[in-house]
Chains A and B, each alone.
Chain A
Amino acid sequence: MRAKDIEMATATHSETELPRLTNDEISRYSRHLILPEVGMEGQQKLKAAKVLCVGTGGLGAPLALYLAAAGVGTLGLVDFDTVDASNLQRQIIHSTATVGMLKVDSAELMLKGLNPYLNVVKHNTMLTSANALEIFKDYDIIADGTDNFQTRYLVNDACVLTGKPNAYGSIFRFEGQASVFATEAGPCYRCLYPEPPPPGLVPSCAEGGVLGILPGLVGVIQATEVIKLILGIGESLVGRLLLVDALTMKFRTLKLRKNPDCPVCGTHPTVTALIDYDQFCGIEKPKSVGPLEVEQNKAVADAPIVDGIPQISVQELKRRLDAHEDVFVLDVREPHEVKIVNIGAPLIPLGELPKRLDELAPYKDREIVVHCKSGGRSQKAAQFLKSAGFQHVENLAGGILAWADKIDPTLPKY
């Protein structure tokens, strides 16, 4: 579908007067101005445009930077997080100097440094069903650079309900996807994915991770689509899904169809207002709104029993080990993680546990403490062991990260 055919909110600018460029702006954007496809009018359209970046992480970083450089007049940034050193492997909108700062503040510094003519609107909040429509209404295009299914469906539905196109990008390890959803003529995210995968089938931490440059690649594709929509040039990704495989460096586009039975954008929609997306995706509500680091850094107490598994603190494990109590500590991470840091515990990766259960037979009636990186996989492993008849299985709350925090600060954290 040709971008110029798409009915867009920005089209209304042609009826009103486009903002004029100053002499300094004309000098800055000269490489655009001498390109006939952009030209003076195109650059003025960019200046008039208001784009919302949901997330200033791996995808949002290159996306916002290129939109700012290109002369998009107003950029909204939605993020509740703070900058962490582990973000800098790919989130190039932040820097070593801004670690610990709110991401929206850190991003504003970099964006304004690149282009002081840019108007940055900061939304230091988690996007929710309660605030999404209110935030979206002031923008022409939404760029989705979020990291979880709840927010993906929330952004999609809010885009359909407000009639704003959604420049979509998503990544996993070496693989990326991009499209433009929710224009009147094209399909939306729900046409492609009517339902989210259940939480149990979402790849675990062990399979997580991402090649740092991949969000750069996909985020820049999203930025390209945003610019094309604003200018009304070229052929947009509306009705097409771009698949990117960074390892084989193969790009492929698949045809997407608008589903007439789509619950949001179909002919007889059943979703006509924003819903509870945590419930829709079958996950628990976050305990608090705000930087997750707060939760991670607080003292990890001996928590109550979770799904039948006692949670033991790193301090308690240290005490038992020092007292030479009979405790068998099991590491259920992946071999490449053990190379990063370990506390000397024998390794059986979570995924191999069912096949290698016999190795643990001698410990069936003894006390086993299972650990992983931060306590998620080890909880699953402990539940599995319990169901397999192991009598005394406990989960190390906070995992090896908590051990590095509280017991042995010389250990690296990853």
Chain B
Amino acid sequence: MKINIPTPLRAYTGGEQTVTVPGATISQALEALVSAYPDLRQNLYTADGKLRSFVNLYLNDDDIRYLPAKEATAATEDDELTIIPSIAGGLAVIGRCSPQKTCL
């Protein structure tokens, strides 16, 4: 299935905006994604392997949290998975970054 990668995560996919991966379910497709791009794993999963709560995933137009089978939902190669990032930018703090600032 096709996975749409949001801008903040494209640094980990070599700049790719969309990645096509195999997998019969959402979980399998995500596993294929983080196997292909290992740096993505810690951005999507916690240390104990759970999807991070600030990562929103949409299968086509549906939030997977509200699908009956959630991540185990079956997917075909025509389906599209979109990762919605948590972004906070808006007002400038350029040039004043510290480890605590978001620097947008």
Which A positions have Cβ atoms within 8 angstroms of B?
A: 55-60, 79, 81, 84, 86-87, 90-91, 144-149, 152, 169-175, 177, 192-197, 199, 201-205, 207-210, 215, 241, 243, 245, 248, 254-257, 283-284, 292-293, 295-296, 351, 373-377, 379-380, 401, 413-414
Contact = CB atoms under 8 A, between A and B. Distances in A.
B95 A373 contact: yes
Given A147-B102, A149-B88, 14 more contacts: A59-B91, A146-B90, A147-B93, A148-B93, A169-B90, A170-B87, A175-B85, A177-B84, A195-B53, A203-B102, A204-B103, A245-B7, A401-B95, A414-B94
Given A174-B7, A196-B86, A380-B99, A147 B91 contact: yes
22 contacts: A58-B89, A59-B91, A79-B91, A146-B91, A170-B90, A172-B87, A175-B6, A175-B7, A175-B85, A194-B53, A196-B54, A201-B43, A202-B102, A203-B8, A203-B102, A208-B104, A245-B7, A257-B63, A283-B100, A374-B96, A376-B98, A379-B99
Q: Which range holds the interface residue count of chain B?
A: 35 or more
B90 A208 contact: no
A133 B41 CA distance: 39
A254 B61 contact: yes
A148 B93 CA distance: 10
Interface in B64-90: 66, 82, 84-90
Interface string B1-32: 00000111001000001000000000000000
A167 to B, nearest CB: 12
A203 B103 CA distance: 8
A175 B102 contact: no
Contacts of B53: 193-195
Given A59-B90, A147-B104, A376-B101, A241 B95 contact: no
Nearest to A253: B61
B99 A199 contact: yes
Nearest to B52: A197
A86 B95 contact: yes
A223 to B, nearest CB: 14
Given A147-B92, A171-B104, A380-B99, A256 B86 contact: no
Nearest to A88: B92
Chain B interface helix/strand/loop/mixed: loop
Nearest to A284: B100
Contact of A145 (B84, B90, B101): B90
Given A55-B90, A192-B56, A194-B54, A292 B103 contact: no
A19 B61 CA distance: 43
Contact of B92 (A84, A169, A375): A84
Interface of B: 6-8, 11, 17, 42-43, 52-54, 56, 58, 61-63, 66, 82, 84-104
A193 B54 contact: yes
B93 to A, nearest CB: 6
Contact of A351 (B6, B11, B82, B93): B11
A197 B45 CA distance: 12
B90 A171 contact: yes
A145 B56 CA distance: 21
B101 A58 contact: no
B97 A373 contact: yes
A58 B90 contact: yes
Contacts of A205: 97, 103
B103 A256 contact: no
A210 B104 CA distance: 7
B66 A257 contact: yes
A273 B64 CA distance: 30
A414 B52 contact: no
Contacts of A81: 91
A265 to B, nearest CB: 16
Nearest to A173: B7
B94 A86 contact: yes
B63 A255 contact: yes
A177 B63 contact: no
A175 B87 contact: yes
Instruction: Name, among A57, A193, A292, the residue most crowded by chain B CB atoms within 10 Å (CB to CB).
Output: A193
B45 to A, nearest CB: 11
B97 A147 contact: no
